[in-house]
Amino acid sequence: MTPRCLLPLLLATSFVAAQNMPVPDGKGRILQVFDLQTTQAPWLEDDAPEQPAADAAGAAAAGAPSVAGDHQYLAEFLRPFVTPALGPGDDLQVLGGRWLTLLGNPAQVASLERLMANAVARRDLLVTTTVRIVGMQASVFEQRVKPMLSARAGAEGVFDAVIPAARAEGLRHVVAGGETIDAPRLTVAPLQRATMSMQTQTGYVQDYTLTRHGDQLIADPIVGVVWDGIMVEFCAMVLDDGLIGMCCDVQSQQLQRPIQEFQADIGTGTPVTIQLPRTTGVHFRQTTRVAAGDLVVLATQKVDGDYLLAIVEARIDRR
């Protein structure tokens, strides 16, 4: 059933915080609707958890929980935690920026109801995450880190693993000799999304526009902007079994300096300079269940042959 077909059914339930109704598809599915604007929702709190102070290397960090706007991220975050897993014809999404809707069987509906109720009941349990980005020589990675990881299916050259807290110190010792790029920390309430950006923006001459003034052509530069640094997005909640359900998205990008320049004749009689920035980077995304103190490790090889690791650690704090 498509979102267009869901809308008339949604309108019938639009005056209640949560409602379910049978769907006449002959498969026993139910349409469950949650009003994300309910006053008890921790993901809408304006009094966001205070963010831990940044380390010296991250003093320029800017980040905060996002409590406004589109809540489609909630559907993306919750989908892997609904059991049984959603199958063909099942769907979980946010409609109208407000209504979290699940089209699924009764067991899936009950699972989502427990997840939402748990988020409200445990609103005082915050999750704090630390993300470390570590550069490592290929020889060190191959010998000391790769044996701890598994190749990610369908992603060539990408490795990941959850390292239990009991063995986490061993990994910390191994990566201590690597180049730590950044270590931002974020704290979120249940199902609240937080973002952090630690980056430098650099302007460059991307192109020109031509304007005629009498018999003369004037070239006006068009300035582009390229960023260098790290962006982190994080969403989490404490599940009913005490584990942490989390999704962490990390993007790291490096600008190669100096920016390459070349001269071009665009018809003004005088050559102009155009700049072509080149960046390298990696993008990590992981959704998983972990115990407090476990390390989520993701690694990929850079264009220069060395490796970049993202090490994510989460802990539970009480408000």
pLDDT class of 7 with cuts at 50, 70, 90: very low
Whether residue 256 sits in one domain with residue 130: yes
Whether residue 245 sits in one domain with residue 169: yes
On whether residue 54 sits in a domain, the answer given is: no
**Residue written as tokens 């997005």?**
233
- Asked if 251 and 231 count as a contact pair (C-beta separation under 8 A), the reply is yes
Tokens linked to 128: 């704090």
Whether residue 177 sits in one domain with residue 133: yes
Whether residue 167 sits in one domain with residue 91: no
* Residue finishing a domain among 82, 98, 121: 121
Whether residue 238 sits in one domain with residue 311: yes
C-alpha closest to that of 294 among 280, 311, 309: 311
Whether residue 167 sits in one domain with residue 107: no
pLDDT class of 18 with cuts at 50, 70, 90: low
Whether residue 107 sits in one domain with residue 135: no
Tokens linked to 232: 């982190």
Please tell me the distance from the alpha carbon of residue 10 to that of residue 181, in angstroms, as a whole number: 47
- Asked if 311 and 295 count as a contact pair (C-beta separation under 8 A), the reply is yes
Pick from 18-32, 37-51, 84-98: least confident: 37-51
Q: Spell out the residues 6+ positions from residue 233 whose beta carbon is closer than 8 angstroms to its own.
A: 193, 194, 195, 248, 249
What is residue 262's predicted lDDT score, i.e. its pLDDT? 93
The pLDDT tens digits for 213-266 are: 888 889 999 999 999 988 889 999 999 999 999 999 988 888 999 999 999 998
Whether residue 19 sits in one domain with residue 100: yes
* Residue finishing a domain among 99, 121, 143: 121
Whether residue 289 sits in one domain with residue 217: yes
Per-residue pLDDT for 9 more than 90? no
pLDDT class of 12 with cuts at 50, 70, 90: very low
Per-residue CA distances from 103 to 23, 29, 31, 132, 248 (Å): 8, 7, 5, 38, 26
Whether residue 76 sits in one domain with residue 203: no
The pLDDT tens digits for 80-110 are: 999 999 999 899 999 888 889 999 999 999 9
Pick from 6-10, 85-89, 123-127, 279-283: least confident: 6-10
Whether residue 141 sits in one domain with residue 3: no
Whether residue 136 sits in one domain with residue 90: no
How many domains, in total, are found in the chain?
2
Residue type, 19: Q
Range(s) of the domain holding residue 91: 1-35+69-121
Residues 215-232, buried b or exposed e (16+ Cβ, 10 A)? eeeebebeeeebbbbbbb
On whether residue 49 sits in a domain, the answer given is: no
Please tell me the distance from the alpha carbon of residue 44 to that of residue 150, in angstroms, as a whole number: 37
On whether residue 263 sits in a domain, the answer given is: yes
